[in-house]
Amino acid sequence: MTALWVLVPAYQEAARIGGALRALAGQRDLDFTLLVVDNGSTDDTCAQVRAFAEQAPFPVRLLVEPDKGVGCAVDTGFRHAIANGATLLARTDADCLPEPGWTAAARAGMLASGGLVCGKVTARRDEHGPLGRGTFRVLVGIGAFFGRIRPAHRRRHGYLTPYRMHAGNNMAVTAELYLASGGMPRRPSPTDRAFINRVRRISTAIVHRPDMVVQNSTRRIRAYGLRGTARWYLERGAGHRSVDVR
């Protein structure tokens, strides 16, 4: 049995979660359960999810995680899904737009590899013009390059496979590997590097699917500026800025 659950962590996403939900409803592979984990929103994020659930083409569940931090929301959500029968797990974010083949590519990648699948992230076309989208591509490329050459990521430190940049808003992992790795660190973002390094210590089953595409929000560029966003994608943290850019 290969039960797929899709997880969307959310916090104060009333302005954007509708787009993510519509994008998921537009998937070619609709054989999944959607789990939205709200991290304590005070806007109408949850109301939108409940309204969507009434006419969604797949089962929708809403879970509230009181412990703050995207890592807490993701870990709680994945463990809830596994406890309810999920064998395949995929995640995107409430400000992202998965392209129509996303769930199909995620399922195929997990079944073929038995492990962790990293997808391709592009900039949302409705938030920035060509210059902003190009800037986003450059920043992602810089983050991926420095991740590969970072001394702490070298295999001599106990890793079984080379480092690959992994976007938490476009990932899929088998339930078995998720549990074996110890799961997502229960802390605020960024958590992506720590999670993939947990997986690298126990498995070589990490693959990239260029057909598993998510359009990523570029609002961090507007909120942080070019230098601050570069710092973020290099996983140097948010500096003096708030992690929440809403």
Is residue 192 over pLDDT 50?
Answer: yes
User: Which domains does the chain possess?
Assistant: 4-127+165-215 (3.90.550.10)
Which string of DSSP letters, residue by residue, matches 128-184? --HHHHHHHHHHHHHHHHHHHH-GGGSGGGS-SS------TTSEEEEHHHHHHHT-S
Backbone angles phi, psi at 241, to 5 degrees: -85, 160
Residue 199: predicted pLDDT? 96
For helices 130-149 and 219-233, the axis angle rounded to 10 degrees is 20
Answer for the pair 74, 107: CB distance below 8 angstroms, yes or no: no
Indicate the pLDDT class of residue 229, thresholds 50, 70 and 90.
low
Is residue 245 over pLDDT 60?
Answer: no
Q: How far apart are CA 191 and CA 180, in angstroms?
A: 17
Residue 74: predicted pLDDT? 97
Residue 20: predicted pLDDT? 98
Average pLDDT, the chain: 87
Answer for the pair 162, 148: CB distance below 8 angstroms, yes or no: yes
Residue 79: predicted pLDDT? 98
**pLDDT tens-place string over residues 128-149:** 778 777 777 777 666 666 666 6
DSSP 25: H
**pLDDT tens-place string over residues 61-86:** 999 999 999 999 999 999 999 999 99
**pLDDT tens-place string over residues 21-51:** 999 999 999 999 999 999 999 999 999 999 9
Answer for the pair 161, 206: CB distance below 8 angstroms, yes or no: yes
Is residue 234 over pLDDT 60?
Answer: no
Is residue 235 over pLDDT 60?
Answer: no
**pLDDT tens-place string over residues 151-177:** 677 777 788 888 877 788 999 999 999
DSSP 114: S
Q: Which of 26-30, 141-145, 183-187, 237-241 has the highest mean pLDDT?
A: 26-30
Answer for the pair 234, 192: CB distance below 8 angstroms, yes or no: no
